Amino acid sequence: GMLPSFSTSCSELVQRWEKSISPKGSCELDVWNELQNLTGDVISRTAFGSNYDEGKQIFQMQKEQAELVIQAIRRIYIPGS
């Protein structure tokens, strides 16, 4: 299930954030990017049995494929339209 993957991914995220804290006790994070990576990590662990770093290539290929589909759809000519 997803719960163990989610737990592992969240634990790693918190550890990364803890390491980012300066001696003053603060740090600046791009939370949106972190949450996107967390989502990808959970999906990768659940679907592929790997973490996000290992699944990045799959996500990159999916992104490229989606972009190519969009380009192809834009080029379709429908007579009479």
Cβ atoms of 48 and 61 closer than 8 Å: no
Whose tokens are 């600046």? That residue is 28
Q: For CA atoms 32, 62, 60, 17, give the dihedral sign.
A: positive
Give the tokens for residue 23: 């001696």
For residues 20, 24, 30 and 32, what is the CA-based torsion angle, rounded to 10 degrees?
90
Is the pLDDT at 13 greater than 80? The verdict is: yes
pLDDT digits (tens, 9 = 90+) for 21-79: 888 888 898 888 898 888 888 888 887 777 777 777 777 888 899 899 988 888 887 78
Q: How big is the CA angle at 45 (ends 43 and 47), to the nearest 5 degrees?
A: 60
Q: What is the pLDDT of residue 7?
A: 92
Q: How confident is the model at residue 14 (pLDDT cuts 50, 70, 90)?
A: very high
Provide the whole-model pTM: 0.59
Q: What is the pLDDT of residue 10?
A: 93
